[in-house]
Amino acid sequence: MSARDTIPIIDLGPTLAGEPGALQEAARQLRHALTEIGFYYIVNHGIPRAQVRAIYDAAARFHALPIDEKMKIRIDKHNVGYLPMKGDTLRTSVVQTVTRPNLNEAFFVARDLGPDHPDVVADKRFRSANRWPVLPGFRETVMDYCGALEGLVKKLVRLYAVALELPPQWFDSAFEDFQYKLRMTHYPPQEPSANDDFGIAPHTDTSFLTVLAPNDVPGLAIRKLDGTWLDAPAIPDAFVVNGGQLLLRWTNDRFLATPHRAINRSGGERYALAFFCDARIDWPIAAVPTTVGPDKPPRYETTWYTDYMVAYQKRTYDLLSQAAE
């Protein structure tokens, strides 16, 4: 099989242990992954298996709530809260014309800002308080997981810096208090359909990077550069990582934002936990110096998270198409 027919596996163990040369070797593997296929697995990442199991249990508990309870915390303009079944349509897809809504429901959580936080008081877009269900222990489990993933991402961005021929600390300031969203998705079982129904339709993420929790239930597939689809196998305890549209801007299209989709043909319920990560909200998003030059002008204008996500949200979330103005 060619390099583009398999999803690379990067062992973070030596890097996290501080072994000589390990950071550079992992960065080399990451560069290969993000220029050839756009996805990779990470193993020996330091996130305990029990913590992953706990967040999956929390997702199942939430989605088992009555619909009336979930609708009390319906998704708002800050993109936190409950997105009902068929509540989004991926009109932003770059690989397929999508007109039918996704066959999933989801609960979104961001950094847990308190009601007295200045950004919350000012109603700053995408810097709101979270919307929580009445579910004992749920908030604590979710935020513990987000905290663990935040720590992991701060280590991962150093690999990205080295892979881009930058100093390891290049992204440290940009990813201090960085923007993140945890999407806790429930995919009910699907029957084969002639209507191109998807659990989630072919799309690219918006993020700099997305960390997807290990999943025993298959369903994810990625689109290779030749246009064919590759099923992502379940690898025990391995997180899946990919880039998105804002990574394209940061790297001047050097790294890939690979389209992917999900269809639940397992015959049972499927849950997925995607942790979308971007720089802090006031950090300008522009191509890093090693990706531009006299013969490589920037392909995108500098932008900011808020401006980009407002436009994306208006096109994607049916419930917010008017409220997102």
pLDDT tens figures, 35-75: 999 999 999 999 999 999 999 999 999 999 999 999 999 99
Q: Give SS3 for 63.
A: helix
Continuous segment of H or E residues that includes residue 207: none
How far is the C-alpha of 134 from the C-alpha of 69, rounded, in Å? 8
Instruction: Give the pLDDT band of residue 138 (cuts 50, 70, 90).
Output: very high
In sequence order, the 6+-apart residues with CB closer than 8 A to the CB of 274 are 182, 183, 185, 205, 210, 211, 212, 213
The answer to whether residue 262 sits within a structural domain is: yes
How far is the C-alpha of 89 from the C-alpha of 319, rounded, in Å? 10
CATH code of the domain containing 227: 2.60.120.330
Average pLDDT over residues 290-306: 96
The answer to whether residue 38 sits within a structural domain is: no
How far is the C-alpha of 260 from the C-alpha of 230, rounded, in Å? 9
Q: What is the extent of the structural domain holding 150?
A: 46-320
The answer to whether residue 67 sits within a structural domain is: yes
The answer to whether residue 15 sits within a structural domain is: no
In sequence order, the 6+-apart residues with CB closer than 8 A to the CB of 176 are 280
Strand partners, 108: 81, 183
The answer to whether residue 122 sits within a structural domain is: yes
pLDDT at 312 exceeding the cut of 90? no
| Nearest alpha carbon to residue 251 among 39, 95, 35, 41 | 35
The answer to whether residue 40 sits within a structural domain is: no
- The whole-number pLDDT of residue 317 equals 57
The answer to whether residue 152 sits within a structural domain is: yes
Number of domains in the chain: 1
Residues 65-76 have pLDDT tens digits of 999 999 999 999
Average pLDDT over residues 243-261: 97
Higher local confidence (pLDDT), 100 or 294: 294
The answer to whether residue 177 sits within a structural domain is: yes
